[in-house]
Amino acid sequence: MAKRRRKFTQCPNCGYIFEEVNNYCPNCGQENHDLNVPAKHLIAEFFEGTLHFDTKVWHTLKLLLFKPGLLTEKFNVGQRASYVPPFRLYVFISIIFFFVLALRGGSSPEEAKGSFTPDVEIKGLEADTVAETSEAAVALSDSLIQAIDSPFLKELSVKFKTFTSDEEQSRQKLLKNTSFMMFILMPFFGFVLYLFYRRQDRNYVEHLMFSIHFHTFFFLITIVAIGIEYFIKSFEVDTWVFWIALLYLFLAMLRVYKQSFWRTFLKFLPVSFLYILSLLALFLGTLFISVMMS
């Protein structure tokens, strides 16, 4: 949808004389669009732009959720104007994703039964048992601190005790660091795909777009799964998200890289294994950094 402009004949910023085709000043870059109009015109423009953006979001999410790999394919061949840019979409969805995780992690033990969080999973434990376990962990940590001779390990034990002493602060710190971890994981996964499909002579950016769309999908289905869990307490969020994400990854690889079913499957196995391994390694690294920052 083209933007309707009320054009100046002369740039109000630098005085450049506009030609009819100039939507921006060639001299200073200011937009050639007069905003000094009645409020009703500005309101109409706002809703016009908002509805157009909503249409782009709907088209983007429809392809992302229900047609694995098609959004990436359209981006790679240059069909981009009708869809939200991949990185902008990722940032927007990731903000919602970590906000939902923070709310979920902050719920009471009764409300969180059967749920998973990025830090510690506790299922079906009574409050007394949790308290006794925490006291035992603190006592063990104190004993280890006294027994360890290595300065590094002793410092690590002290940091770990500090980290676990405030559950809410530890959760928030871990969530914040996990968001950075996922930001690192995206280009790494793109590089893994680049290595496996290097004979197709594709630019790395194409694999990076695949990775961004895949992680955006992962965030979306996790948000949906957490919403389902809110109404169905027995719903296994982590199990469903894990298998749906793997299926989506395979179907997206099949569409984007256009190889046979079995050839794609033979690449999918090591690609998914390396992804899960790197995810685990990065999460452990994130946990270590979170503890050391305590």
- Report d(CA 169, CA 131) in Å as an integer: 18
Of the candidates 103, 128, 125, the residue with the CA atom closest to the CA atom of residue 114: 125
Please tell me the predicted confidence (pLDDT) of residue 27.
84
One domain for residues 236 and 191:
yes
How far does Cα 93 stand from its chain's mean position?
6
DSSP output for 164-218: HH-HHHHHHHHHHHHHHHHHHHHHHHHHHHHHHTGGG---HHHHHHHHHHHHHHH
Residue 33 belongs to a domain: yes
Residue 90 belongs to a domain: yes
One domain for residues 2 and 44:
yes
One domain for residues 191 and 230:
yes
CB of 88 within 8 A of CB of 56? Answer: no
One domain for residues 191 and 222:
yes
- The identity of residue 105, as a single letter, is G
Q: Report the b/e string of 255-283 with b at 16+ CB within 10 A.
A: ebbeeeeeebeebbeebeebbeeeeeebb
Please tell me the predicted confidence (pLDDT) of residue 204.
94
The CB density around residue 8, as the number of other CB atoms within 10 Å, is 18
Residue 127 belongs to a domain: no
CB of 253 within 8 A of CB of 151? Answer: no
Of the candidates 173, 105, 165, the residue with the CA atom closest to the CA atom of residue 137: 165
Q: Is 233 a residue whose pLDDT tops 50?
A: yes
Q: How many distinct structural domains can be found in the chain?
A: 2
Residue 157 belongs to a domain: no
Segment 153-163 mean pLDDT: 67
One domain for residues 48 and 172:
no
One domain for residues 108 and 217:
yes
- Report d(CA 198, CA 191) in Å as an integer: 10
Confidence of residue 103 (pLDDT cuts 50, 70, 90): confident
One domain for residues 171 and 52:
no
One domain for residues 114 and 49:
no
One domain for residues 104 and 6:
no
- List the domain range (segments joined by +) for residue 50: 1-57
- Report d(CA 272, CA 27) in Å as an integer: 51
Structure-block tokens of residue 200: 């197709």
One domain for residues 190 and 267:
yes
CB of 214 within 8 A of CB of 252? Answer: yes
- 4-18, 126-140, 214-228, 273-287, range with greatest mean pLDDT: 214-228
Residue 237 belongs to a domain: yes
One domain for residues 95 and 47:
no
